[in-house]
Structure 1
Amino acid sequence: MSAHSEVPVVRAADSEADQRRVAGALAARGIGRGDRLVVSAAASPALLAVVLGALRSGVVPVVLDPALPAAERADLVADADPALDLGDDPAQLIGDEVADLAPFPLARPMHYTSGTTGRRKGVWSGVLTDQHARALATEEIELWGLGPADRHLQLSPLHHSAPLRFALHTLLAGGEVLLPGPFDAARAARVITDMRPTTTFCVPTHLQRLLREDVDWSGFRMLAHAGAPCPEPTKRAVIAALRDGAVHEFYGSTEVQFTVCTTADWLAHPGSVGRARPGRTLTTDERGQLWCAVPPWSRFEYWRAPEKTEQAWDGDRVTVGDLGRVDDDGTVWLDGRREDLVISGGVNVYPAEVEAALDAHPDVVESAVFGVPDDDWGQRVVAAYVGTATPDELATWARERLSPAKRPKSLHALGELPRTSTGKVRRLDLPGVLGL
């Protein structure tokens, strides 16, 4: 079977017709601005139509992972307090009646944070003014240069904020979206080669697996990646495979977007995450936490958690707890999350710095560094890694590149690192995986 026959293609005009029918069904049910609608379904044309039709009616879709255990899903639905729960069948809301749509989404979807620590929090932006709605959509479309000629390849699940954002704005810009289903490297390679998408968003795990396939990358004008640090060898291989300037990285979270890193910026500053997006300014505080001043249409609160909202904001500046540095030229470097910080013998050890040193070894694919309790040092530094290097070889490598406090006290080779569905390493799971 060819890639063409097995991959749904969502075209902007077709989706808009379905969005109008979604808007009609919502109006008929009396569901309006600020109400929430829960859906937890696999990627499909119907899911995109429901999300965009709701947003352009001022209804806030709460997009949940369809693989959630029933009890966890029930907790999140109860917390979201929706006017309607579509379950895993978004098509049921595409009715016969049609209604008008706003030109741009009047809200952002509410996602529950899927970080590696803590209880999930709903990220709520409410209903936007028309002016802010236009500014929000225009910023995203112009930043990535999206237009009617774009064919976006969907590689990541739509219940995550970044993949959904790229798909929605491609349709809003008049382009089309390819939905090849759950990620499979061989299938994705065929789609890239045969259907020649122009844009995609992915995480580094996707890139590592695609680089092992026979892929014709030449159709891409823009490949954006985020979600987890990208090992330098992987990044350089992708830059070499694509046309000049096509590879972009960005730093953001479910809550807010911070930076963009072009190919040129990364080559000039390998390992950085670029500079602030337009309209934003990044600074650090005395603890090394990154704060970002954002435009009004990027504001949010944590749903029904005012104390967490208050901790995140200082005027128009917001933090999600990440640690980093900002150079004089505005280049941003990440040191990890505050909860990932390892304090060994009173020395702050940033996992990202140690991982960068280990990942530079030619026989290491990627690594993850974390701390475990230690009676003498408070915590000791431990590393898990994927690759063919032996622990002794890697320990010698680390001794030549890291100060004593930062060197892993033990190194453990694994077939793969445990991850969230967005590609973030589950550091808290590693001690259990390794029996530490």
Structure 2
Amino acid sequence: MYLTQGLHRSLQATPNATATIFKDRKRTFAEHGERIARLAGALQGLGVHAGDRVAILSMNSDRYAEYLLAVPWAGAAVNPVNIRWSPAEVAYSLNDSDTHVLLIDDPFVPMAPILLEKAPGLSILIHCGDGATPEGMLSYEDLVAGSDPVGDAYRSGDDLAGVYYTGGTTGFPKGVMLSHTNFMASGLGTIATGELLKVGSILLHAAPMFHLADLAAWCGATILGGTHLMVPFFEPTSVFKAIAEHRPTDVLLVPTMIQILVDHPDSNNYDLSSMARMLYGGSSISEGVLNRTKARLPGMRMTQAYGQTEAAPVITLLLPDDHEGNRMRSGGRAAPHCQVAILDLDGNEVRTGDVGEVCAKGANVMQGYWNNPEQSAQALRGGWLHTGDLGYLDDEGFVYVVDRLKDMIITAGENVYSAEVENALSKHPAVASSAVIGVPDDYYGERVHAVVVLAPGHRATAEELQIFCKELIAGYKVPRSFEFPEALPMSGAGKILKRSLRERYAAAQG
């Protein structure tokens, strides 16, 4: 299996169909394929060899979609950079992965001098924006126009296809090595459910394309010969306008994005009826947001994906018909391409209903961490990918993820899973979003602490929220202290950075 497989099929079967839509640009598969073959030729002409890493620091665009195929076409591996990272973090990933070529978009051009200073191995910058090409950089469009097309290198199977750096929510970023088989297994297994993407689908890329969740959706659409519709970044009005004008059928979003869209005051001013399927994941979704989404888009089929970068990324899927009752709190069952087990600290399977570490195996599981054999062996011990998540299986195979191992709070000897507390808080009408962490406490050891963002126009006190939560969860789980900031710190993938909240609390306490 190889990433360019779907493109070859589309070039043969539907060369005149629309491959990409971005702003006022539409390109057919014939045009898309020609530009990819020329960009691959340009990369080879710049000295890119088989297995080399080629990075991109860019907003979503049609050029991003070309990059994702041109790099493997040239025989190299993609290295998409988190657009929210600082220059030091970007430089770290480039140095760690030994990347010499970087495609860079207009918003990040000011970062270039710092990257060249901090990443001495970076020797070639390709400007892939719509503005004038800065001095010292190569023009993406000039390279495409001036290079001869080359044949596909047909890298496949266990060949390295990408190095994806983890978001760093639980530690220093690690480069996850993913093969062509890893990507294709996850993509094929996901669409095999029949609930995600169809032949003729138009996939809206509103989530960042640097993130592996979006690449998984991109991979599925590419396999099926679908159209890719891009907006530069997630912004509610841009998303609404793109849906109304181009009528996409599928989208991938994280729960925070879903909440912003369904609660937006202009949501009802746009025709969103083309949306047939939504894949969501990246973090847990509250029942309140899920119910509001169903009310706003009653005809849309919603599927939740649970996974991580190391699994390319899909492990389980909660299909639309399973969004009912208690199952709505689960991450679904093992995806068609993946096997799931709940293991104890000794690597033994626990009994049904008991909490342990969620583990997975399948053709989608990573090759390991770049230049990190010790952590690779730890993550893949016993032939299983150890996710670092706590969860349990019910007697029908549904996986319930209760928390990250590091996010479990032990207060007065009792285990508290923050996801359960956050779900209770989400049901209060004044709560827009929340994050629950454990903080040091002289009496309890750890105290349940809630960081709550209130909905616009609403007010709530700590005492009011405590009384509300006591109606839903046990008393020892109810937060004993609260903060009410204007926003929660988020990663580039849309996840709440609980580590930042802990550090901020510690700093405030001196």
- TM-score normalised according to structure 2 size: 0.78
| Residue matched to 2:401 | 334
- C-alpha distance in structure 2 between counterparts of 1:145 and 1:222, whole Å: 7
CA separation of 1:277/1:330 partners in 2, compared to 1, >3 Å: closer, same or farther? same
- C-alpha distance in structure 1 between counterparts of 2:191 and 2:256, whole Å: 26
Question: Is 2:282 the counterpart of 1:232?
Answer: no
Q: Specify the code of the residue in structure 2 equivalent to 1:34.
A: G
The structure 2 residue matched to 1:21, chosen from 38, 45, 54, is 38
| Residue matched to 1:263 | 320
Q: Specify the code of the residue in structure 2 equivalent to 1:193.
A: A
CA separation of 1:232/1:97 partners in 2, compared to 1, >3 Å: closer, same or farther? same
CA drift at 1:209: 1.6
Say whether the 8 Å CA contact 1:123–1:301 is kept in structure 2. Answer: yes
Q: Specify the code of the residue in structure 1 equivalent to 2:393.
A: V
Question: Which digits, 9 at most, give the CA deviation of each residue in 1:346-377, with x for residues without a partner?
Answer: 22211011111222223323221101111222
- C-alpha distance in structure 1 between counterparts of 2:364 and 2:94, whole Å: 26
CA drift at 1:171: 3.2
Question: Is 2:300 the counterpart of 1:249?
Answer: no
CA separation of 1:259/1:108 partners in 2, compared to 1, >3 Å: closer, same or farther? farther
Residues 305-384 of structure 1 mapped to structure 2, 5 A cutoff:
305-384=372-451
| Residue matched to 2:102 | 85
Say whether the 8 Å CA contact 1:395–1:411 is kept in structure 2. Answer: no
The structure 2 residue matched to 1:294, chosen from 350, 361, 367, is 361
| Residue matched to 1:41 | 58
CA drift at 1:33: 2.7
Question: Is 2:330 the counterpart of 1:272?
Answer: yes
CA drift at 1:31: 2.7
Question: Which digits, 9 at most, give the CA deviation of each residue in 1:13-40, with x for residues without a partner?
Answer: 4322221112222333453332211221
Residues 183-202 of structure 1 mapped to structure 2, 5 A cutoff:
183-202=234-253
Question: Is 2:111 the counterpart of 1:54?
Answer: no
Which deviates more, 264-273 or 333-342?
A: 264-273
CA drift at 1:233: 1.3
Which deviates more, 326-335 or 24-33?
A: 24-33
Question: Which digits, 9 at most, give the CA deviation of each residue in 1:370-415, with x for residues without a partner?
Answer: 0111122211111112233322111112223332321211123333
Say whether the 8 Å CA contact 2:55–2:101 is kept in structure 1. Answer: yes
| Residue matched to 1:139 | 189
The structure 2 residue matched to 1:403, chosen from 442, 452, 474, is 474
Question: Is 2:436 the counterpart of 1:386?
Answer: no
CA separation of 1:289/1:216 partners in 2, compared to 1, >3 Å: closer, same or farther? farther
Which deviates more, 240-249 or 138-147?
A: 138-147
CA drift at 1:148: 4.6
- C-alpha distance in structure 1 between counterparts of 2:271 and 2:155, whole Å: 35
Say whether the 8 Å CA contact 2:22–2:230 is kept in structure 1. Answer: no
| Residue matched to 1:221 | 276
- C-alpha distance in structure 1 between counterparts of 2:184 and 2:177, whole Å: 18
Q: Specify the code of the residue in structure 2 equivalent to 1:273.
A: G
Which deviates more, 327-336 or 390-399?
A: 390-399
- C-alpha distance in structure 2 between counterparts of 1:140 and 1:205, whole Å: 22
- C-alpha distance in structure 2 between counterparts of 1:376 and 1:56, whole Å: 60
Which deviates more, 151-160 or 165-174?
A: 165-174
Q: Specify the code of the residue in structure 1 equivalent to 2:162.
A: P
| Other structure's SS at 1:86 match | strand
- C-alpha distance in structure 2 between counterparts of 1:104 and 1:355, whole Å: 44
Q: Specify the code of the residue in structure 1 equivalent to 2:165.
A: Y
**RMSD of the alignment, in Å?**
2.5
Say whether the 8 Å CA contact 2:51–2:76 is kept in structure 1. Answer: yes
| Other structure's SS at 1:139 match | helix
CA separation of 1:133/1:153 partners in 2, compared to 1, >3 Å: closer, same or farther? closer
Q: Specify the code of the residue in structure 2 equivalent to 1:229.
A: S
Residues 64-79 of structure 1 mapped to structure 2, 5 A cutoff:
64-79=81-96
Which deviates more, 311-320 or 282-291?
A: 282-291
- TM-score normalised according to structure 1 size: 0.90
CA separation of 1:115/1:134 partners in 2, compared to 1, >3 Å: closer, same or farther? closer
Residues 170-185 of structure 1 mapped to structure 2, 5 A cutoff:
170-185=221-236
| Other structure's SS at 1:379 match | strand
| Other structure's SS at 1:32 match | coil
| Residue matched to 1:124 | 177
| Residue matched to 2:203 | 152
CA drift at 1:181: 1.4
